[in-house]
Amino acid sequence: MLIIKEKQLWRREKQLKNGSSLWGLITLLQASKSDDGPFMSFGSLGKTGQKSTKCLPVVCYHFFTNKTKCDREGEASTKAMLTLLHNFTISPTSYYSPHQGCKVNTRNSKVVMMMVGEDNVQTQVEKKEKLYLGMDFGTSGARYALIDKQGSIHAQGKREYPPPLQMSGNTKNWAGSWRTTLFSLLEDLPNSLRPLIYSIAIDGTSATTIIVDSNTGDPICRPFLYNESYPDALKVVKSISPANHTVCSGSSTLCKLVSWWNSQDSDKDSAILLHQADWLLWLLHGKLGVSDYNNALKLGYDPESDSYPKWLIAQPFSHMLPSVTAPGTSVGFLREHVRMQFGFPEDCVVCTGTTDSIAAFLAARATETGRA
C-alpha cells in the first residue's frame, strides 16, 4: 500500500506585455510505503530520503495566465498524477533541485507532468537522448553544465577551488586544487543523468601552463598562471618569432615555456607542456600530450596552416610541444576507473577543450555572421 502526500505551491512567474501575470503552480506528490515515511519534501529534494528505495516524488509544473484557472486545472491534474503514481514501482529518488525536477513550458497553458526517479528518468530525458558535459575552470572556481543536443540545461553546479598547496616562498601549487575540484564536480552530477552522458569537454584560462613528466603526467613544477608575465623570456621569444606575433607578450604560453627551459638544468628530456584544460582532460582520458588549437595559439601554433611554424619547431624545447587538434575532437574513452567510479556509460568519450573566452563565445550561440 502507498501512502500519498500532496504539496502545492503557486507563484507569479512574470508580468506579461498585456498587463496580465503568468502564474506557475507546482504540485509535488510524495509516496511512501509506510506512515513513518520517508517522504520527500519539495524544498529539500535530493537531501531527505536520499538513496532511499521507499520514496518517489512526482512533480508537476503548470503555467496559466489566470490564478483561478491555475487552481482548478491543477486539482484535476493531481488526480491524473495519482493514477500515474500507482502504475510505477517505487524506485530510488534522483538528486534534482526543485527547478531541475520540473519541466517548464511557458508557451502553452497545458500541464507538463513527469516522474522523477532513477528508473524513470526517461520521462524527463528521452531514453535514447544523449547529454553532453562541459566544465569551465576559471580563476577562483569551476562550474559544470549538462546539456542536450538542443542546448537545454539538465543540470548545473559549481565549486570553489580548495586552498592550494603552499610551496617554497609565496608560490602556490594550484594543480592539486584543480584536480580535487574536477572530481568534486563529477561527484555532484545527478546519479540518474550520468548514464546518459555521451561526451565531456573542459575549458580553462588561456595561457595557464603546466609542465609535466611525460611518463607519469605529474607536474614537475607549480603551474604558470594566465596573468603571470616573464619579461626576461619575452626578449628571447621576440628574437625567434615574427614581429608582432601572438606570442610576443610576457604572459604568453611560449614565454612561460622559455622561462622554465632557461631555469632548468635537468628533467628537460622527459618534460612536456600542457595547458590547464589539457591536463584536466588527461586525468579523464589518460592520453598525455594532446591539446587544441585555441589553447595552443599563445604557444605559437598556426591555426591557418594547422601546424607549428618552422621557427618554433627549430627550438631545442620543441619536443615539449603537445599535439594539436580542433576543439571538441574525440580523444578517447574515459579511463576505466573514472567511468566505474562515477557510473558513466562505456561509450562516453572525452574531447579536446578550449579556452575560457572561446567557450563563452560558443555559449553565446553567435553562430551567424553579424551576430555578437
Across the range 85-108, mean pLDDT stands at: 34
Cα-based angle 188, 99, 101 (whole degrees, multiple of 5): 75
pLDDT number for residue 81: 39
Report the range of poorest mean pLDDT among 35-49, 280-294, 301-315.
35-49
pLDDT number for residue 267: 78
Neighbouring C-alpha atoms within 13 Å toward the C-beta of 132: 13
Q: Determine the Cα–Cα distance for residues 193 and 145; give it in Å rounded to an integer.
A: 12
**Is a pLDDT exceeding 90 seen at residue 143?**
yes
**Is a pLDDT exceeding 70 seen at residue 130?**
yes
Q: Which domains are seen in the chain, by residue range? A: 3-123 (no CATH), 131-363 (3.30.420.40)
CB 230 within 8 Å of CB 263? no
- Average pLDDT, whole number, for the chain? 76
- β-partners of residue 211 are 273
Task: Label residue 207 by pLDDT band (50, 70, 90).
Answer: very high
Cα-based angle 85, 87, 90 (whole degrees, multiple of 5): 65
Compute how many other C-beta atoms are within 10 angstroms of the C-beta atom of residue 277: 30
Helices (H), 166-226: 175-188
Cα-based angle 281, 354, 133 (whole degrees, multiple of 5): 60
Neighbouring C-alpha atoms within 13 Å toward the C-beta of 163: 3
Across the range 24-42, mean pLDDT stands at: 45
Across the range 214-235, mean pLDDT stands at: 95
Q: Determine the Cα–Cα distance for residues 310 and 51; give it in Å rounded to an integer.
A: 58
pLDDT number for residue 10: 46
**Is a pLDDT exceeding 90 seen at residue 114?**
no
pLDDT number for residue 346: 95
Task: Label residue 55 by pLDDT band (50, 70, 90).
Answer: very low
CA proximity to 46, closest of 189, 144, 194: 189
pTM exceeding the 0.85 threshold for the entire prediction: no
Q: Determine the Cα–Cα distance for residues 223 and 207; give it in Å rounded to an integer.
A: 10
**Is a pLDDT exceeding 80 seen at residue 98?**
no
pLDDT number for residue 291: 98
- β-partners of residue 209 are 224, 275
Helices (H), the chain: 67-86, 175-188, 231-240, 253-263, 276-285, 310-313, 336-342, 356-363
Q: Determine the Cα–Cα distance for residues 265 and 3; give it in Å rounded to an integer.
A: 72
Across the range 319-345, mean pLDDT stands at: 97
Q: What is the SS3 assignment for 225? A: coil
Residue pointed to by grid coordinates 619547431: 313
Q: What is the pLDDT of residues 233-286, one digit of tens each?
A: 999 999 999 999 999 999 999 999 999 999 987 778 999 999 999 999 999 999
Q: Determine the Cα–Cα distance for residues 303 and 219; give it in Å rounded to an integer.
A: 27
pLDDT number for residue 173: 81
Largest CA distance in the chain: 80
Q: To the nearest whole percent, how much of the chain has pLDDT over 70?
A: 63
pLDDT number for residue 128: 61
Q: Determine the Cα–Cα distance for residues 367 and 372; give it in Å rounded to an integer.
A: 9
Amino acid 144 reads Y
Q: What is the pLDDT of residues 159-194, one digit of tens each?
A: 999 988 665 555 578 999 999 999 999 999 999 999
Residue pointed to by grid coordinates 518517489: 56
